[in-house]
Amino acid sequence: MARLTCRTAGESHGPASIALIEGIPADLKLDVSFINAELKRRQGGYGRGGRQAIESDQVDFLGGVRNGTTTGAPIVLQVINKDSRLNDAEATPPIHKPRPGHADLAGALKWLTNDCRNTLERASARETAARSAAGAVARCLLREFDIHAFGFVSGAMDVNADISPTTETWKDLLAARDDSAVYCPDDATCKAVIEHIRNAKVDKDTVGGFCEVHVFGCPPGLGSCVAWQDKLDSRLAGAVMGIQAFKAVEIGIGKMCGSIRGSQVHDPIDYSRKNASQSNLGYDRPTNHAGGIEGGMTNGMPIVVRGTMKPIATLLQGMDSVDLQTGEPSRSDYERSDVCALPAASVVMENAVGFEIAAAFLDTFSGATMRMVRASYDAYRESAKEISSS
Ligand code: EPS
């Protein structure tokens, strides 16, 4: 079996955003309404610009899925772009004045051109439509094993709330998150984030912020300590850092580890056979500073990933830049954009994290069909029972 992988293709104003997924076993029933609900959520959130009024994202499967069930072949999916105009030169004119913080200048230097259009079309966060759909496909597999990813916005600017959902509380927080204009389950934080976005808009500026994803129900041992490439934290960091505009990723308490002593950082170990869950097998930890990962492997506690998104690079007020045609100073070009896409980014992150967890799950419990994956998982659980009762 090929490792679970995903590649995407497509430009922001091309015909579609596409994903090619390999490694999903046969006979997984896809919950298309769940996938489409994730796409809808990704389009929303306070701070979005005019583009989302044009699009109504829905997933189409072009390969690897028959009657809603995977066949074991590579899956190709697309999300159609209604605002498709890339072959109309007037509607997608050249961009000569790169926006600081966007891929514009680095792309112009890489492909040796003074037109940033091709770069910005591919670098655009429109790509995350396909990536979110791919993540939601992988999460259909995780849900079969009662593994759930829960993502939300935790703050922006001077606000970074400690929301800390637990295995017991996260489902209650879900409704609050989905009712919130910025996908934040904490009302005070939500109001503060909205205020920051509103003020930035008035000032023709942009804001970024903080998102978190918590994963509940993972068995222990996903990932590996034997090769750095297979460490789950390394894979998660790569996946989250690969989301447009993300500048930092932390697992558990993250960089705070450097500020406090070992006795305060590390999570003590308890054992109680009667409290065993599918995740912890009875080994409980009163704290979860490690974010559910030790030695690159899940340790039975919920996985906690934190991401920081920079402010969007397209500023209505522009920024100091240079006209690549003349070399003269100029304000950067303005393309229609969002003031803040942080809520959307939390949805992308939830699905990107879900995808990596599914990849690590299938590395451990592999099989050509869902039945084989289930058998492998059940065999592990049976053996685990013997170990903990011996
Ligand atoms: C983006 C610019 C905007 C965003 C886009 C990302 O698009 P447009 O130039 O068409 O207004 O809306 O994000 C999406 C289209 C999306 O679906 O998330 C950019 O430059 O990165």
Does the C-beta of 124 come closer than 6 Å to ligand 1? yes
Domain that holds residue 174: 5-389
Backbone φ and ψ for 127, nearest 5 degrees, come out as -55, -30
Q: Over range 363-376, report the average pLDDT.
A: 98
Minimum-distance ligand 1 atom for the alpha carbon of 57: 17
Closest residue CA from atom 19 of ligand 1: 124
pLDDT given at position 249: 98
Percent of the chain with pLDDT over 70: 99
Q: Over range 171-180, report the average pLDDT.
A: 96
Which position has the higher pLDDT, 333 or 164? 164
**pLDDT class of 1 with cuts at 50, 70, 90:** low
Query: What residues have CB less than 8 Å from 235, skipping those under 6 apart?
Result: 223, 356, 359, 360
Indicate the number of domains in the chain: 1
Q: Which of 312, 338, 339 to mutate to test the pocket of ligand 1 (most atoms within 8 A of CB)?
A: 338
User: What is the C-alpha to C-alpha distance for residues 309 and 127, in angstroms, rounded to an integer?
Assistant: 16
Residue 388 confidence (pLDDT) above 80:
no
Q: What is the pLDDT of residues 21-73, one digit of tens each?
A: 999 999 999 999 999 999 999 999 999 989 999 999 999 999 999 999 999 99
Residues present in the chain in total:
390
Closest residue CA from atom 17 of ligand 1: 126
Residue 390 confidence (pLDDT) above 70:
no
pLDDT given at position 389: 60
User: What is the C-alpha to C-alpha distance for residues 327 and 322, in angstroms, rounded to an integer?
Assistant: 6
User: What is the C-alpha to C-alpha distance for residues 365 and 359, in angstroms, rounded to an integer?
Assistant: 10
CATH code of the domain containing 58: 3.60.150.10
- Of 37, 22, 31, the closest CA to residue 71 belongs to 22
Measured in Å, residue 99 CA sits from the centre of ligand 1 at 14
Q: What is the pLDDT of residues 178-204, one digit of tens each?
A: 999 999 999 999 999 999 999 999 999
Does the C-beta of 336 come closer than 6 Å to ligand 1? yes
Tokens 């994202």 appear where? Answer: 57
Query: Burial level of 262, CB count in 10 A (0-12/13-18/19+)?
Result: exposed
Q: What is the pLDDT of residues 267-283, one digit of tens each?
A: 999 998 888 888 999 99
Residue type at 132 in one-letter notation = S
User: What is the C-alpha to C-alpha distance for residues 284 and 299, in angstroms, rounded to an integer?
Assistant: 9
How many CB atoms are located within 10 Å of the residue 248 CB? 15
Residue 364 confidence (pLDDT) above 60:
yes
- Of 229, 351, 357, 388, the closest CA to residue 291 belongs to 357
